[in-house]
Amino acid sequence: MLSRRVFLTRAAGAGITTGGLGAMLAGFGPKAAAPPAQVRIPAPGSPVTWPISASNPLLPSGKLAERNATLKVFCWTDRVNPRCLDDFAQKYGCQVELTSFGTFGQALASLAGGRDIFDVLLGAPAYMVGQLVGKGLLRPLNHSYLPNLRHTWPQVASPFYDVGLRYTVPYTVYTTGIAWRRDLIDADPYAMANGWTFPWVAGARGKTALLDDYRESVGLALIRAGADINTTDPYVLDAAQAQLASLRQLVGIRVDNNTSAEIAAGQTAVHLAWSGQAAAAPRFLPSGVPVEAIGYWFPPDGIGPVGNDTATVLRGAQSPVLAHLFINYLLDPLSALVNISRIGFMQPLTYVTPARLVYEGILPRSLMSTAVLSTYQDHGLKKLRLPVGADALWRQIWNSVSARRGKTG
């Protein structure tokens, strides 16, 4: 187990000075000093309105879409329907080029490194917005190009992480729960007092997987123990690491984000999952396997991890007008239904209700538990940006737990 003392020793060995270490550990423990004033960490009780600088101004209103352009979209794998790209390209007489990433860490490294230039980023988690703005990677949004914002839920119309939606638009919403194969596992998390313990008791040795996302997977151990999913306490994180290590020893764990295909194929029988992944899994099912074989558990009271990803225009966008128009296109209710029918992830639009998704044949009734309700935004558990030192410890713990990535252990 990675103790606080070991972490401090390793940090010192890495050449971090005493002053730097103090800054890293800002936020640890109940008596720790507050983060530096310049580090703005949005929270529901401490919303942030990001500034717009003269060096990174709004796109002027009234401009026409760029002609003979290629809109370059950077997005999570399988998180936008190719048909939406084709329809948009036809409508605006342009080309659309899609580049995908498998984890947001990969995306951030690519953007920060400046290796590629994109117009639109789809999928930045809400808790990462401050970091993206702070690094100067985003262009402020001109809402005159985004009339479809009127369709969004009131709960996300001016969120705490980006008051006034100056840099982002809510794209997809999701819960984090547990997907499993009902026909392969003789247990039901809905019958358990604490459904978060399901991976430890399901007995799916060699067929248990966690998300390749340090916030989600370390968060699983924390929420199982009833701890804060944004904790900065190294002793609590030590305990979370021990729980994940015990899971690896008990059943072995795979680490990946290929949840939909793996659950459908039976390659994985229990998978920490985003709700949209479980909702998308039926399209991967082999012939003869009923959709009812796929289950998704999320606390029925809605008090579990709830998040949303965002759509943004990147600062280096070569086609900024088209970028705005594309984001607006995705906010159109009918376009959203087409999009959701492929990706599984809901969009926070008042038109897109669970009942409508079932009526349209997009969401099976047996997977209604994957539906995200607007009320979840009020009382669900939200991931917040961590202070630098805490984030480093979270990542170090996750690297230790997931060291045998892609294999069972």
What is the pLDDT averaged over residues 111-134?
Answer: 92
At 361 the pLDDT is: 97
Q: Nearest-CA neighbor of 189 among 307, 289, 306, 295?
A: 295
At residue 116 the predicted structure's pLDDT band, cuts being 50, 70 and 90, is confident
At residue 332 the predicted structure's pLDDT band, cuts being 50, 70 and 90, is very high
Share of the chain above pLDDT 90, in %: 86
Q: In terms of pLDDT, which residue wins out, 334 or 9?
A: 334
Q: Per-residue pLDDT for 25 more than 70?
A: no
* Least confident stretch, 17-21, 47-51, 202-206: 17-21
Q: Per-residue pLDDT for 368 more than 80?
A: yes
Q: Per-residue pLDDT for 3 more than 70?
A: no
Cβ atoms < 10 Å from Cβ of 66: 19
* 3-state DSSP helix/strand/coil % of the chain, to nearest 5: 40, 15, 40
241-253 CB burial, b ≥16 within 10 A, e <16:
bebbbebbeebbb
Q: Are 176 and 370 in contact (CB under 8 A)?
A: no
What is the pLDDT averaged over residues 9-21?
Answer: 35
At 273 the pLDDT is: 98
> 210 - beta bridge partners?
255
**Average pLDDT of the chain?**
90
Q: Per-residue pLDDT for 20 more than 80?
A: no
How confident is the model over 50-60, as pLDDT tens digits? 999 999 999 99
Residue 391, judged by CB atoms within 10 A of its CB (0-12, 13-18, 19+), counts as middle
At 39 the pLDDT is: 62
Provide DSSP, 268-302.
Answer: -SEEEEEHHHHHHGGGGPPTT--GGGEEEE--TTS
Q: Per-residue pLDDT for 136 more than 80?
A: yes
How confident is the model over 239-266, as pLDDT tens digits? 999 999 999 999 999 999 999 999 999 9
Q: Per-residue pLDDT for 406 more than 90?
A: no
Tokens representing 31 are: 């008596």
How confident is the model over 211-241, as pLDDT tens digits? 999 999 999 999 999 999 999 999 999 999 9
How confident is the model over 65-101, as pLDDT tens digits? 999 999 999 999 999 999 999 999 999 999 999 999 9
Q: Per-residue pLDDT for 7 more than 60?
A: no
Q: Per-residue pLDDT for 17 more than 80?
A: no
At 403 the pLDDT is: 79
At 331 the pLDDT is: 98
> How close are the terminal C-alpha atoms of the chain, in Å?
17
